[in-house]
């Protein structure tokens, strides 16, 4: 099973693009603190992950996310290989987002830490978005079912 759950802060503003066929793609990266500090230095260690969102989820991320925002990303790991400028083969790991939950308010991006904590506890919850699978029908994934067909 290839499932990833990450909570972290955006390290840069999202980058919106479209494929040659017009499908929206949004790329951003998040910094995720490890659960434990380094035993020798006592410092908090951080990992950085590249996130890729597609279609409607990409548009929403591009519109509402900014550097510093805290997000929860649910998705899967995807590997890719490429050739570096020196001709060597390299591998990269991306997280393909199935869902992105905004955990901080829009005004928290780029603000001070006191602004950030105030925004997290704001009464209006941040929206949670889910990307529809590529095989989903145009009717938002719902199928009309008669009550007689229900097993309960």
Note down pLDDT in tens along the chain; length 152 residues.
999 999 999 999 999 999 999 999 999 999 999 888 878 888 889 999 999 999 999 999 999 999 999 999 999 999 999 999 999 999 999 999 999 999 987 665 544 433 333 233 233 444 555 555 544 445 555 566 666 666 65
The predicted pLDDT at position 129 comes to 54
Q: What is the pLDDT of residue 17?
A: 95
Nearest CA-CA partner of 67 in 18, 104, 122, 121:
104
Number of domains in the chain: 1
User: Would you state the pLDDT for residue 141?
Assistant: 55
pTM above 0.85, yes or no: no
Distance CA 148, CA 152 (A): 9
- Measured CA to CA, the distance from residue 73 to residue 49 in angstroms comes to 10
pLDDT at 111: 44
Residue 45: give the domain boundaries: 4-149
Which residues on neighbouring strands pair with residue 33, listed in sequence order?
46
pLDDT of residue 96: 96
Find, among 1, 18, 4, 16, the residue nearest to 100 by Cα: 4
Q: Return the pLDDT at 136.
A: 46
CA 104/CA 68 separation, integer angstroms: 9
51: domain CATH number is 2.40.50.140
d(CA 14, CA 57): 12
Quote the Cα angle for 113-128-5, to 5°.
Answer: 75
């Amino acid at each position: 099973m290839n499932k990833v759950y990450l909570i972290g802060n955006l390290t840069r503003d999202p980058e919106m693009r479209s494929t040659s066929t017009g499908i929206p793609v949004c790329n951003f990266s998040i910094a995720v603190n490890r659960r434990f500090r380094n035993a020798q230095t006592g410092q908090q260690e951080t990992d950085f992950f590249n996130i890729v969102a597609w279609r409607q989820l990409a548009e929403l991320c591009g519109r509402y996310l900014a550097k510093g925002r805290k997000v929860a990303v649910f998705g899967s790991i995807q590997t890719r290989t490429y050739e570096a400028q020196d001709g060597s083969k390299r591998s990269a790991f991306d997280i393909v987002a199935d869902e992105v939950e905004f955990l901080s308010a829009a005004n928290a991006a780029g603000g001070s830490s006191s602004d950030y904590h105030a925004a997290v506890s704001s009464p209006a919850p941040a929206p949670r978005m889910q990307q529809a699978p590529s095989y989903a029908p145009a009717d938002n994934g719902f199928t009309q079912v008669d009550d007689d067909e229900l097993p309960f």
